[in-house]
């Protein structure tokens, strides 16, 4: 007999280079996290029962040219999926926090790689990461790859494009139909790897029995309308065949970009039936921060001072310049590093012999006197007057600014 949490998933994903591009910079992934199974090129439908760790679907649309976009999208897929798999048993909130951290960390890795390798300078990728966990669809998004949900014959976009065109639509400056011919329609506002930090947009939707999840790059939802995608998903229940038909439809429209599609159908007694006339759409999700997030502080950018106590008897008292203290302060950028300079001073540590203390004090006083005498006799007076020598001040360096056009580069 099926348990109340029995949720069945049948999913497939496919990517195509299209008819214009020379190589495919898109990447996708389907993962049954509990089974440790993930694939970017399935031969057939992936069918499984949802476990405690959930499922993960990714679509990343790379950019950068000269195959650099492919590097960025591959790095994003590998990094995010690995971090999610290592999370262990999750709730909806903890999964969302884990997904957010994983996307942020992937951004850091890609950004560092792009700065280290000249051939990959400026590379980046969009990322739409969809998790199915705890009867909930959780989405983390960067860029303009989308997630749709088909329920009761109605296809709804549950993400918001992070693009210039989308902002103009929301501001009422243009309609969605006008945006299709907008000359700057390919300008996005965020991409993994282009800037040092990203603002991961999280959203969620409660799942219902019979829901169909569609994740796509703009190579699909650009040339193919929402109505056409809806009709294909309704008439073709098999995810593999649906993916093939969707890609074929984009190729009919000249396939101007790489095309990536993931289709997943969910069912089982663990999900409630759909409610009639329920409005779906983008629903912002803020899962909060837990103690582990605060301790990690991966992206705070703050400097952390860590005090390390050093045993006094580890300092050679007879060495010139020995420090008469047991406290060392280490300041470093996050993450902090424990330098491990000995153990804390114990309360019952044996006292230093008095004679040694006197000897150290005398040596310090003598050294100070010699230093002052040397300063007074060996330093010549500085010349005065119009011919006075001046030390050349260092030339001011130009301020470093983040070029917002890099994050909004045409893809």
Q: Which pair of tokens denotes residue 337?
A: 């590093």
Instruction: Give CA separation, 225 vs 81, 231, 311, in Å.
Output: 30, 10, 71
Strand partners, 279: none
Question: CA-to-CA distance for 32 and 81, rounded, in angstroms?
Answer: 10
Measured N-to-C along each axis, helices 239-252 and 226-235 cross at an angle, to the nearest 10 degrees, of 150
| Pairing status of strand 201-206 against strand 154-157 | unpaired
Residue 144, class by beta-carbon neighbours within 10 Å (0-12 exposed, 13-18 middle, 19+ buried)? Answer: buried
Instruction: Give CA separation, 132 vs 1, 33, 182, 315, in Å.
Output: 23, 10, 34, 57
Question: CA-to-CA distance for 248 and 268, rounded, in angstroms?
Answer: 30
Determine contact, residues 64/126, Cβ cutoff 8 Å: no
Determine contact, residues 91/174, Cβ cutoff 8 Å: no
Scan for tokens 């106590």, then name that residue.
309
Across 127-137, b (16+ Cβ under 10 Å) vs e yields: bbbbbbbbbbb
pLDDT in tens, the chain (411 residues): 344 479 999 999 999 999 999 999 999 999 999 999 999 999 999 999 999 999 999 999 999 866 799 999 999 999 999 999 988 778 999 999 999 999 999 999 999 999 999 889 989 999 999 999 989 999 999 999 999 999 999 999 999 999 999 999 999 999 888 887 888 888 999 999 999 999 999 999 999 999 999 999 999 999 999 999 999 999 999 999 999 999 999 999 999 999 999 999 999 999 999 987 778 888 999 998 865 544 444 444 443 333 333 333 433 443 444 433 332 232 233 333 332 333 332 333 344 455 565 566 667 777 766 666 655 554 444 444 444 333 333 333 333 333 444 444 445
Write down the domain spans for the chain.
8-297, 300-369
Torsion of CA 88, 92, 93, 99, to 10 degrees: 60
Residue 51, class by beta-carbon neighbours within 10 Å (0-12 exposed, 13-18 middle, 19+ buried)? Answer: middle
Positive/negative CA dihedral, 131, 215, 180, 280: negative
Q: What is the pLDDT of residue 177?
A: 82
Of all helices (H) and strands (E), which one includes residue 45? none
Give the HSE-up count for residue 110: Cα atoms under 13 Å, Cβ half-sphere: 36
Determine contact, residues 254/20, Cβ cutoff 8 Å: yes
Question: CA-to-CA distance for 219 and 61, rounded, in angstroms?
Answer: 9
Q: What is the pLDDT of residue 339?
A: 28
Instruction: Give CA separation, 103 vs 98, 197, 343, 360, in Å.
Output: 9, 10, 38, 56
- The CATH architecture of the domain made up of 8-297 is 4-Layer Sandwich (3.60)
3-state secondary structure of 254: coil
Question: CA-to-CA distance for 407 and 393, rounded, in angstroms?
Answer: 36
Q: What is the pLDDT of residue 279?
A: 81
Q: What is the pLDDT of residue 269?
A: 93
Determine contact, residues 62/71, Cβ cutoff 8 Å: yes
Q: What is the pLDDT of residue 408?
A: 46
Q: What is the DSSP letter of 305?
A: E
Question: CA-to-CA distance for 90 and 387, rounded, in angstroms?
Answer: 75
């Amino acid at each position: 007999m099926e348990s109340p949490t029995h949720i069945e998933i049948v999913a497939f994903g496919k990517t195509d280079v299209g008819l214009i591009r020379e190589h495919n910079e898109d990447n996708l992934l389907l993962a049954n996290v509990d089974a440790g199974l993930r694939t970017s090129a399935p031969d057939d439908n992936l069918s499984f029962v949802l476990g405690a760790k959930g499922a993960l679907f990714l679509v990343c649309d790379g950019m950068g040219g000269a195959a650099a976009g492919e590097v960025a999208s591959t790095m994003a897929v590998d990094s995010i999926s690995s971090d999610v798999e290592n999370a262990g048993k999750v709730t909806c909130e903890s999964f969302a926090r884990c997904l957010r951290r994983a996307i942020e960390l992937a951004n850091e890795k890609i950004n560092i790689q792009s700065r280290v390798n000249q051939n990959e300078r400026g590379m980046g990728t969009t990322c739409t990461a969809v998790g199915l966990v705890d009867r909930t669809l959780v989405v983390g998004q960067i860029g303009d790859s989308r997630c749709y949900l088909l329920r009761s014959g109605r296809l709804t976009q549950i993400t918001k494009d992070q693009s210039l065109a989308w902002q103009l639509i929301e501001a009422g400056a243009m309609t969605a139909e006008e945006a299709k011919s907008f000359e700057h329609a390919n300008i996005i506002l965020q991409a993994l790897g282009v800037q040092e930090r990203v603002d991961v947009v999280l959203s969620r939707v409660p799942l219902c029995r019979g829901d169909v999840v569609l994740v796509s790059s703009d190579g699909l939802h650009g040339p193919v309308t929402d109505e056409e995608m809806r009709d294909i998903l309704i008439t073709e229940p098999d995810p593999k065949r649906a993916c093939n038909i969707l890609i074929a439809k984009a190729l009919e429209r000249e396939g101007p970009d790489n095309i990536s599609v993931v289709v997943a159908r969910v069912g089982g007694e663990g999900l409630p039936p759909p409610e009639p006339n329920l409005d779906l759409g983008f629903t912002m999700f803020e899962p909060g921060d837990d103690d582990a997030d605060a301790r990690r502080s991966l992206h705070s950018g703050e400097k952390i001072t860590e005090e390390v106590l050093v045993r006094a008897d580890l300092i050679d008292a007879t060495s010139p310049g020995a420090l008469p203290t047991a406290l060392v302060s280490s300041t470093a950028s996050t993450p902090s590093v424990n330098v491990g300079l000995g153990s804390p001073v114990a309360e019952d540590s044996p006292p230093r012999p008095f004679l040694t203390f006197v000897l150290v004090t005398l040596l310090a006083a003598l050294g100070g006197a010699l230093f002052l005498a040397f300063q007074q006799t060996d330093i010549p007076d500085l010349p005065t007057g119009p011919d006075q020598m001046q030390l050349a001040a260092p030339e001011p360096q130009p301020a470093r600014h983040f070029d917002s056009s890099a994050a909004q580069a045409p893809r």
